Amino acid sequence: MLLIGALATWRIGHMLLFENGPFRVFRAGRERLGVRYNDIDDTVVWYRHEITTCLYCLSVWVGAAVALMLWRWPGTVWLCVPFAFSAVSIILDDVIQRVRR
């Protein structure tokens, strides 16, 4: 359960910080929190709060929410499983891409 929670925390944090999401909902959320992007290459040019651009910062809060959910309602581990599978898939893809280079 610890590994599933950890992988789900990484995946959710990564989605919130680095992905646009369906209909750009994650990016719109970051923009509402003060993140501004370069129009040419979509790099972050300004941000108001570091939690909106730092995986290390956000993972503390996401991890706390996941841990609280798993502690309070142990049966909800299945809500984390898709995120954990996705995290493993992304990590494996990254490793494979690095080996091929």
Main-chain dihedrals φ then ψ at residue 49, nearest 5 degrees: -125, 135
Single-letter amino acid code for the residue at 62: V
For 36-65, write each residue's pLDDT tens digit: 999 888 889 999 888 889 999 999 999 999
Residues of the chain with pLDDT under 70: none
Closest to 79 measured CA to CA, from 6, 8, 10: 8
Which tokens go with 92?
């494996």
How far apart are the C-alpha atoms of 48 and 70, rounded to whole Å?
31
pLDDT (0 to 100) of residue 30: 93
0.85 cut: is pTM over it? yes
Contact 29, 16 (CB under 8 A): yes
The per-residue pLDDT for 50 is 87
Number of C-beta neighbours around residue 25 at 10 A:
11
